[in-house]
A and B are shown apart, each in its own frame.
Chain A
Amino acid sequence: MSGEEEENAAELKIGEEFLKAKCLMNCEVAIILDHKFEQIQQHASSESDPSSQVSQVFEKSMQYVKRFSRYKNPDAVRQVRETLSRYGLAEFELCTLGNLCPDTSGEAAALVPSLKSAGRFVGDAGNDRIDKMLNDLSLIKKFE
């Protein structure tokens, strides 16, 4: 058990692969998987190949991201990423905010504590900026 724990802790330092990796929001994953699913369906109908069924992991992930996607429309999804990236967020912060859509700066800071720790959103001015950012997000949602 302890061996597993150590290995786990080591992995949280993020392997080389994850440094190069791009973080995805749920809604982005939904678009990718949807596209892929269509391709598989087409392939299956044209060749009637029983082996081209989707895996259970694929199916479960698809259900999950569909259920928890805040934005359905691909344009809105792109806007969310563009808007958030203007605020100099790290990838993972961007994705967490995009997924969870907090309502207030307090909630955002509780969900993504690193917003405060990195010194980009300090004090009242920082809170105002977070609020502005969240407001931008809700506007995208409203006009989707």
Chain B
Amino acid sequence: MDSLSQPPSKRPLSSSATDFREVSLASPPAADDEGERSKMFFHIVLERNMQLHPRHFGPHLRDKLVSKLIKDVEGTCSGRHGFVVAITGVEDVGKGLIREGTGYVTFPVKYQCVVFRPFKGEILEAVVTMVNKMGFFAEAGPVQIFVSNHLIPDDMEFQSGDVPNYTTSDGSVKIQKESEVRLKIIGTRVDATEIFCIGTIKDDFLGVISDPGAAV
């Protein structure tokens, strides 16, 4: 109980950090496994060069720039940063540079956004979308994760039929469409516009957390 009544404690700021964003990983954990140090959602500052047609120059230049940025960037996926889910703010619009020959002006824009980036070794929860004899597919937000039947515990057998599923021999645990599972990402394939993950549920504390038949 005392934990609730205590005054909010200050987060451990490193002395040099003046900006809250720099606080976050200012003291990187001594994790020896690189994969363990990351998490799906990040609040991150990115930079992008925006080209703007001269017809937009005027009192609303900044607004134009921001709406164009949102249109261009939101919902895209880059291998480096993952999916850009939402832009939460524009930090800084730099000095524009006129491109010779076209009249377009390039502005360097710094913006904050929420990105979604899966990492190897991370544990997360996902919803099963498809089950077949090769394994099952699950979805965590915009990311697809495949769990092969080699990475499903050995005591779970594939049952074909109307609702294909994986079931333990005693029938107590069942994975089917819409089941919520906790899985560990063991591999990611990142290309320019897509991220695809391979997961496993063959480990301690992984597996089904709720199945739709029992819950509803």
Contact = CB atoms under 8 A, between A and B. Distances in A.
B39 A95 contact: yes
A22 B37 CA distance: 12
A22 B21 contact: yes
Contacts of B125: 68, 99-100
B30 A61 contact: no
Contact of A58 (B38, B39, B75, B122): B75
Interface residues of A, number: 63
B74 A96 contact: no
B139 interface: yes
Contact of A92 (B12, B38, B75, B204): B38
Given A29-B114, A64-B140, A96-B39, A21 B25 contact: yes
Given A21-B42, A22-B24, A111-B205, A90 B29 contact: yes
A17 B188 contact: no
B184 to A, nearest CB: 9
A21 B24 contact: yes
A127 interface: no
Given A4-B190, A11-B190, A18 B38 contact: yes
Contacts of B39: 23-24, 91-92, 95-96, 99
Contacts of B83: 57, 61
B9 A33 contact: no
B79 A7 contact: yes
Contacts of A91: 24-25, 39
Contact of B24 (A15, A23, A136): A23
A63 B122 CA distance: 20
B4 A23 contact: no
Nearest to A23: B39
A25 B125 CA distance: 12
Given A4-B191, A57-B142, A32 B114 contact: yes
B86 A58 contact: yes
A55 B86 CA distance: 9
A51 B33 contact: no
Contacts of A12: 34-35, 38, 119-120
Interface of B: 1, 3-4, 8-9, 11-12, 20-25, 27-46, 71, 74-77, 79-81, 83-86, 88, 114-117, 119-120, 122-125, 127, 139-142, 180, 182, 188-191, 203-205
Interface of A: 4, 7-8, 11-15, 17-26, 28-29, 32-33, 36, 51, 55-58, 60-61, 63-65, 67-68, 79, 82-83, 85-86, 88, 90-93, 95-96, 99-100, 102, 107, 110-114, 117-119, 136, 139-140, 143
